[in-house]
Amino acid sequence: MHIRSVSRKFAILVVIWAFAALLLGTAAQAQAQDPLPSWNDGSAKQAILDFVQATTDKASPKFVPPEARIATFDQDGTLWVSHPMYTQVVYCLERVPAVVKAKPALAKVEPFKTVLSGNREAMAKLSMKDLEKILVATLTGMTVDEFRAEVKKWLTTAKDPRWHRPYTDLTYLPMIELMQYLRANGYKTFIVTGGGQDFVRVYADKVYGIPPEQVVGTAGDTKYGYDKRGKPILTKEPKLLLNDDKAGKPEGIHLIIGRRPQAAFGNSGGDRQMLEYTGAGDGARLMMLVLHDDSKREYAYGPAEGLPNTKVGTFNQALYDEAKKKGWVIISMKNDWKKIFA
Amino acid sequence: MHIRSVSRKFAILVVIWAFAALLLGTAAQAQAQDPLPSWNDGSAKQAILDFVQATTDKASPKFVPPEARIATFDQDGTLWVSHPMYTQVVYCLERVPAVVKAKPALAKVEPFKTVLSGNREAMAKLSMKDLEKILVATLTGMTVDEFRAEVKKWLTTAKDPRWHRPYTDLTYLPMIELMQYLRANGYKTFIVTGGGQDFVRVYADKVYGIPPEQVVGTAGDTKYGYDKRGKPILTKEPKLLLNDDKAGKPEGIHLIIGRRPQAAFGNSGGDRQMLEYTGAGDGARLMMLVLHDDSKREYAYGPAEGLPNTKVGTFNQALYDEAKKKGWVIISMKNDWKKIFA
């Protein structure tokens, strides 16, 4: 009511300030309106936005209460590069020299002899049985604390041969944004990986913002005991408890999470059952399949076959057809992603 | 600056209002200062307050970052009454008639014949092997959704024979307050129970404020498949994956949570390894043992033996001695708890 008494100059300043604030506000709003800046506009991005809108708006018939907002993500090929070899397999192969140093007799025994030779062609021909021997030798027998320290150390030095960057740098930026967007809307994000649960838990918090208790993965047994000084320890045993791949994914989800996801994201035949199980729930569900079709920026091998084809990505036509039939949303890396890496 | 121009009456009102607000504020603060109103002052309550203060104050040398604030609770005898029989065992026994109705041939086979007779003395004499047969018949063979519905329904009608109240009413109020207090201070609370993971997950959210994914328990395998209409289902299999008792507790914690708890609460021999494992970590750790010493308001049988003594609580002297030796805090139900039930 005192506005008439202030000087004209001041009134003009007020108008300019208000106008600037309006402009700034609009800009901030525009930015807030795009929570997925690395995604190109298109059906994949729109499906995500629609799903979040429908499940978080209390007035929506598809509203999902916050406690039921569970989203599960496969890791290899869905959240980071897994081609031409799963990172954890690289880890196991690179751990072999240390294992042989501790047990020199292994140097003359297959498959360790071949791995030590460094002959990549010979290594590529190792059988699943050989690979299993390497996994058992490099992933079990130590305490869980020792294993964590070994993986942590390896991750700081190991580099992807194509990009010459640490493996943990090769996560897909659009998927990181997607996880952040879901979390900002009350979703609890879980990794559900065929990879080792203990392996992924080492870096998941730092790399994906996902704490250890939200990582479900292939898990071996552990054995409680005491070290020489009587201190309680857990030792990693060569006994498989959960093979978190294919049918093992919904089984693992039930074991560790205990409820059906509202949204699930995968890329390979190993993710089929997780996507089916998610889609079989009531109400709004979002199932998405990352399609590797970008030979220039990453790789082009389609939705992957999944294990046991650990080395070469091969197109999985049946999975692609099921996705189309069931209304799962295909994410084309080439067309849907503006940027692939950070 | 206009205060001098208002009437004297109004000024008095303002003073009274301010004084009232001050009083109310102080009262509210006093209440806020006691987050554990059902606990008597004493060493147990003080140990909890000191632990939370030390681990949440950034200036404290014992500060624990929020993501590492994990607290694990045994259920039976720690969070609710488990005497004279574990609630889940009661559930299994009371499910027998329905199981026999579906498979009439079982009526003439032991141990089902004895359970159907209703002869409590005979039932008390059933062996562990008999009990296992009952558990398999009542806890497996159905889908996880069917099982959840059955347990949910049972909980609404079943009543404890002594208090004539639903079992879910017989939780210990001081422990509920403790969980709330820890959560208010950034702790993630988990149940780590020898009981069935799927069973406890049915009511844990409603009863304890703990979501399914934060319940670790004894778990059987599930099998992914499809029903007649092709809908994906998970069926409960008679194969034990995790025996979440004794050494199985730290192993289960590693499998489902993936990190060492900062605080752990138990009452029986089944919790010993969980408490030891928690105590073996660095920095501030809190280990507490509920002592059943209140024959009037609940039961007096000391720290319990744990399984397989499912029916009769017997004092576990070795556990009590270890607790004293290692500085675990004893919670005397008789002396430390003002109220036992809500």
For β-strands B286-293 and B300-302, DSSP reports them as antiparallel
The pLDDT value recorded for residue B310 is 39
pLDDT tens readout for residues A4-35: 554 566 555 555 665 565 555 555 555 568 99
Rounded Cα gap, residues A82 and A267, in angstroms: 11
Q: Which residues of A touch B241 (CB under 8 A)?
A: 241-242, 255
Q: Which residues of A touch B219 (CB under 8 A)?
A: 255
Per the document, the length of chain B is 342
Global pTM reads 0.89
Mean pLDDT (whole number) for B202-208: 98
Q: Any idea which of B12-21, B174-183, B231-240 has the lowest mean pLDDT?
A: B12-21
pLDDT for the residue B309: 40
Confidence of residue A170 (pLDDT cuts 50, 70, 90): very high
Q: Is the confidence at residue A62, as pLDDT, over 50?
A: yes
Shortest Cα–Cα distance, B324 to chain A (Å): 17
**Most trustworthy range by pLDDT among A11-15, A116-120, B110-114, B318-322:** B110-114
Does A221 contact B at CB distance below 8 Å?
Answer: yes
Asked if B71 reaches chain A (Cβ–Cβ under 8 Å), the answer is: no
3-state percent helix, strand, coil for chain B, nearest multiple of 5 = 50, 20, 30
Q: Judge contact between B52 and B181, C-beta under 8 A.
A: yes
Structure confidence at residue B312 (pLDDT): 42
**In the predicted model, what is the mean pLDDT of residues A93-115?**
95
Among the listed ranges A138-147, B30-39, B146-155, B303-312, which one has the minimum average pLDDT value?
Answer: B303-312
Scan residues 251-270 of B and list those with Cβ closer than 8 Å to A. 251, 254-259
Are A234 and A148 in contact by the 8 Å Cβ rule? The answer is: no
Answer whether A142 touches B (CB < 8 Å): no
Whole-number Cα distances in Å, A90 to A160, B119, B132, B151, B295: 10, 62, 44, 46, 61
> Which of A195, A161, A173, A182 is CA-nearest to residue A268?
A195
The three state secondary structure string of chain A is: CCHHHCCHHHHHHHHHHHHHHHHHHHHHHHHHHCCCCCECCCHHHHHHHHHHHHHHCCCCCCCCCHHHCEEEECCECCCECCCCCCHHHHHHHHHHHHHHHHCHHHHHCCCHHHHHHCCHHHHHCCCHHHHHHHHHHHHCCCEHHHHHHHHHHHHHHCECCCCCCEHHHCECHHHHHHHHHHHHCCCEEEEEEEEEHHHHHHHHHHHHCCCHHHEEEEEEEEEEEECCCCCEEEEEEEEEEECCCCCHHHHHHHHHCCCCCCEEEECEHHHHHHHHHHHCCCCCCEEEEEEEECCCCCCEEECECCCCCCCCCCECHHHHHHHHHHCCEEEEHHHHECCCCC
Residue from A216, A255, A282, A326 to probe the interface with B (highest B Cβ count within 10 Å): A255
pLDDT exceeds cutoff 70 at A68? yes
Whether the per-residue pLDDT at B157 is higher than 90: the answer is yes
**Which of A70, A291, A287 lies closest to A191 in space, CA to CA?**
A70
| pLDDT of res. A25 | 54
Select the residue of B197, B212, B251 nearest A222 (Cβ to Cβ).
B251
**Between these two residues, B55 and B22, which has the higher pLDDT value?**
B55
Residue of A nearest to B259 (CA): A212
B68 contacts chain A (CB < 8 A): no
